[in-house]
Amino acid sequence: MTTVSLLGDLEDDALRRDEDDRIGTARERFRIPPDDTASGHRQLAYMAGNSLGLQPVGVARDVEAELANWATLAVEGHARAQRPWGEYHALLRGPMARVVGGREAEVVVMNSLTVNLHLLLASFYRPAPGRYQIVMEDSAFPSDSYAFRSHASFRGYESRDAIVRLRPREGERLLRTEDVVDYLRLEADRTALVLLGGVNYLTGQLMDIPTITAAAREAGITVGWDLAHAAGNVELDLHEWGVDFAAWCTYKYLNAGPGAIAGAFVHERHLADAELHRLHGWFSNDPANRFEMLPDLTPVMTADSWMISNSSVLSMTPLFSSLALFDEMGMLALRRRSHRLTGYLAELLEQAAPSTGISIVTPQDPSQRGCQLSVAIPTDPSEVHARIRAASGVLGDVRMPDVIRLAPVPLYSTYHDCWRAADALAGALG
């Protein structure tokens, strides 16, 4: 299978940019999948880090070390391992807090994203007569929608009444911040909770988290965020922004592996609130007397209060290598490189647009997007993606009915990856 190269004369420019732009990249510390196509390239142009991040080179070593601890220490590994398993999650608290802009007491690594959303909704969705609606975006990831509906139903409300799905204006694909803010101000008396995606999984739009959070709090509305596509992708400052709670996964931009452990944030103003209901388990208890096995809970005044049980050591282990890279590189430097890479990819796609009929759904303003660009395709996107994967070794992903998502991740993607993706897409459609 062959495609016509419409951007072939720009390849040398992409290679030159890679030579000149090495600040903020750690590509050599990731395992880049080999290109198994006949394209002639040694490695895939991997543009799917928004779906599953690549494996840091230190992960295998760290996992093997824990397997060795299990083999040689058995149960004593909870206390004697180099990273004692008993409080293993606490070792990740600091670096994870730095990624999301929280204080250490506000952050906990546990469970999976939707499980954490359920635990947090059990506390923060507090409907009252006349004020019971949950506000979300219409294009939210389906799992969020299912979770919200289940909590509304559990509290005795019909989802069609309790769930408000904010839609873009007629003829548009993106939510406007002013429309979200206006709705919260006008419907404050009926709204119990607003919970939006920080970066929308479908469009790649970065919501104005501080502005929407401030508007919700001014209206007396509890505000939470699903940060699945934001954590490790954009700069976050959850504590200073006053977010009530948030949850995120770690297998996308945080590179912790398929189905990896997740994270949660609860603002410190809620940590000592005894009237805030929680679903408790053993690890909700203060570790100082956890092993006294008392029937009554001794609350811990951190986000661990939402923790049900000890988390899987082997699921948490890959995070050490990844979070160490974020501490080393810094979100500011990564974000700057992201602007450069994603901006370059956008320029190439715009050059290809007149001859291919594609258009970029994601906002043009770099401050309103992460590294993902969602490209509207004028024909079947699954077929087009299959063609660029088979012919050019370019791996993005598809979201029906008409979107191919391409994400140049600043930790490991290159300008040449961006060129390959744009050139392959242009060739497949042009």
Mean pLDDT for the stretch of residues 336-353: 97
Mean pLDDT, all residues of the chain? 96
pLDDT greater than 90 at residue 170: yes
What is the pLDDT at residue 7? 81
State the number of CA atoms in the 13 A half-sphere of 224 facing the CB. Answer: 29
pLDDT greater than 90 at residue 124: yes
In angstroms, the Cα distances linking 216 to 94, 161, 183, 212 are 28, 20, 10, 6
- Burial zone of 36 (CB within 10 Å; 0-12 exposed, 13-18 middle, 19+ buried): exposed
Contact 44, 57 (CB under 8 A): no
**pLDDT, tens digit, 9 for 90 and up, residues 289-315:** 998 999 999 989 999 999 999 999 999
Handedness of CA 411, 412, 416, 419 (dihedral sign): negative
Side chain identity, residue 169: R
- pLDDT confidence of 239, banded at 50, 70, 90? very high
What is the pLDDT at residue 15? 96
Q: For 63-327, give the CATH class.
A: alpha beta
Extract the runs of DSSP E, i.e. beta strands, from 59-173: 107-109, 133-137, 163-166
- Burial zone of 277 (CB within 10 Å; 0-12 exposed, 13-18 middle, 19+ buried): exposed
Mean pLDDT for the stretch of residues 245-252: 98
Does the fold of domain 63-327 match that of domain 8-57+330-429?
no
Contact 276, 76 (CB under 8 A): no
pLDDT greater than 80 at residue 120: yes
**pLDDT, tens digit, 9 for 90 and up, residues 359-385:** 999 999 999 999 999 999 999 999 999
- pLDDT confidence of 265, banded at 50, 70, 90? very high
Contact 379, 385 (CB under 8 A): no
Q: Which long-range contacts (CB under 8 A, 24 or more apart) does 75-83 make?
A: 83/320
Listing DSSP states for 48-91 in one string gives BTTTSPPEETTHHHHHHHHHHHHHHHGGGHHHHSSS-GGGGGGG
pTM summary value: 0.96
pLDDT greater than 70 at residue 3: no
Q: What are the residue boundaries of the structural domains of the chain, listed by start?
A: 8-57+330-429, 63-327
- pLDDT confidence of 6, banded at 50, 70, 90? low
The CATH number corresponding to 8-57+330-429 among 3.40.50.1820, 3.40.225.10, 3.90.1150.10, 3.30.70.100 equals 3.90.1150.10
Q: Buried b vs exposed e over 132-150: b needs ≥16 C-beta within 10 Å?
A: bbbbbbebbbeebbebbbe
- Quote the CA–CA distance of 105 and 103 in Å, as a whole number: 6
Tokens, residue 155: 């509290």
- Quote the CA–CA distance of 323 and 325 in Å, as a whole number: 5
In angstroms, the Cα distances linking 385 to 7, 77, 376, 408 are 18, 46, 12, 16
What is the pLDDT at residue 23? 79
What is the pLDDT at residue 1? 44
**pLDDT, tens digit, 9 for 90 and up, residues 38-68:** 899 999 999 999 999 999 999 999 999 999 9
